[in-house]
Amino acid sequence: MIKTYNKINDVEIQLLKGFIGRKLKNIKHDPFIFTPTSYGVVYLTIDDLLYSITDFYESVKCLDFIEDISVLKINDNITEVKSYLKDTKLITENINQTINSISIINGKSSIKKNNESFSFEDTYGIIFTLDDDYQFAFEKDDFGESITIYRGYNLFEKFKYLKDNFEKEAYDISLNPSFEFDIINLK
């Protein structure tokens, strides 16, 4: 079995754990034009500290190929707040709600090719559950570096397409493509 990974790491998980019980004051993102997406970065103000979720390409070994794949990361020690689009001013969206739990949406995809098994584990998004179970979800982009921002309830539903997409579309059925979620719930 050849295993490769593109998941949020333990340091980032600890950083996310530290968000629980604190107030998400606002998020900063590109203006939404036709789509609720921000290019490469969303900034989070939690209490009075600034963090970011980023999604930029890195050359990654994924199953049987190497390609530029976006990598979702959680960052602290932010020194500059800026859009990664030219001449674009970020907008601030006030939220002012407590972060009660966080779900990290990991998934494991696998194929079998020429008697060799490949697996790839990736982080596809992060869901923040706030007061009254209201949620914000940040989904990475497989075909670009945008982050899609969802809001509402039961936002894991937004990610369910990943399984069908991988198993029925991404690879020929002869390669036995399979996909399983591996969700980390932080409370």
Partner 1 sequence: MGTYKGGFPTYRSLRDNLDVTKNNYDYKNGYFGNKGKSSVNDIREIYSDDQFKEAKSFYDKITYGGIETPLANDKGLITKLKDGTIITYREITSTINSPAVEINIRTSKDACGIKNQKIHFEGSKKK
Residues that bind partner 1 (CB under 8 A): 31, 33-37, 39, 57, 59, 63-68, 82-89, 111, 113, 139, 141-146, 148, 165, 169-172, 175
Tell me the three state secondary structure of residue 134.
coil
Nearer to partner 1, 165 or 185 (CB): 165
Q: CA of 96: how far to CAs of 18, 44, 93, 134, in Å?
A: 17, 11, 10, 12
Nearer to partner 1, 10 or 34 (CB): 34
Q: How far is the CB of 173 from partner 1 (least distance, A)?
A: 11
Q: How far is the CB of 88 from partner 1 (least distance, A)?
A: 5
Q: CA of 69: how far to CAs of 19, 59, 73, 157, in Å?
A: 27, 6, 13, 23
Q: How far is the CB of 66 from partner 1 (least distance, A)?
A: 8
CB-side neighbour CA atoms (13 Å) of 49: 9
Q: How far is the CB of 117 from partner 1 (least distance, A)?
A: 13
Q: Are 74 and 8 in contact (CB under 8 A)?
A: yes
Nearer to partner 1, 9 or 165 (CB): 165
